[in-house]
Amino acid sequence: MNVKAFPGASPAEAPDDLAGPGEIIAAMRDAVLLRQEHWFLAMLAAIAHWRLPEETLDERHFRYLVCGEAFDWLSLAERLCLELEDIAPLQEREALLFSSAFPVELSEEEFRRLLGPAKYRAHLNFVYGVLVEEALQLAVEQELEKERQSSFGGNGHQDDGVFLRLYGAGQDELLQRYAVEHSLEIDGSLALLELREFTYWLFKQRLQCSDPARIASDTRRGMTALARLQARRPGPRR
């Protein structure tokens, strides 16, 4: 198990008496079983105290912090749900993990307070740097497909077209630059965790090479595309 500390958390957000995952999980279960707290609120308290950016559990690797900056809190929620299988309703857990549907009503401000300021900021980094960036790439891919159809042709390099339009270079060149910068050897396709790291790196590249008006426009396009994708999921969503 990786035991590096979760960066960015203040002492108040990660007190010494709840420093380890075992203690945090035990406190979460006690909150539900002994104090009758709702399992989701107990889970958010556990997330606020969590200090491991990644860990391996039963041969599965969880990475909660992308590039040391973007907090994928739902991955941590998935890991903690494994500890709540006997006390949290399956339907509520599945709705949270598959549709991001909260089992209790929470405002954005309440959610921010429960996560803690540092983790909430890192959560926003993940939303904009990974989720919105992925949706933006999809939106540009769809635009290019429409252009290709309207021109009755195409050069067969639509993937490169997406990267060229957003980041000013082809996919292979960007991957090579990313690998050099991070001292990685990339052979073939990227795994999901690696792809998220690459996507967040691309997001930061776009911020560096685009003017503010273009950044704002692209962000709006990505958010609109993400909203459309989420609207296709069944059931209520956050």
* Tokens (6 digits) for 112: 């921010």
Using DSSP bridges, classify how beta strands 65-66 and 60-63 pair: parallel, antiparallel or unpaired: unpaired
pTM of the model: 0.86
CA distance 85 to 69: 30
Q: Which pLDDT score is estimated for 149?
A: 82
Query: What is the tens place of the pLDDT at every residue in 94-139?
Result: 999 998 999 999 999 999 999 999 999 999 999 999 999 999 999 9
Do 77 and 83 touch, CB atoms closer than 8 A?
no
Q: Give the per-residue SS3 of 125-161.
A: HHHHHHHHHHHHHHHHHHHHHHHHHHCCCCCCCHHHH
Q: Which pLDDT score is estimated for 2?
A: 40
Q: Which pLDDT score is estimated for 4?
A: 47
Ranges in the chain, pLDDT < 70: 1-19, 151-159, 233-238
CA distance 172 to 187: 12
Q: Which pLDDT score is estimated for 50?
A: 96
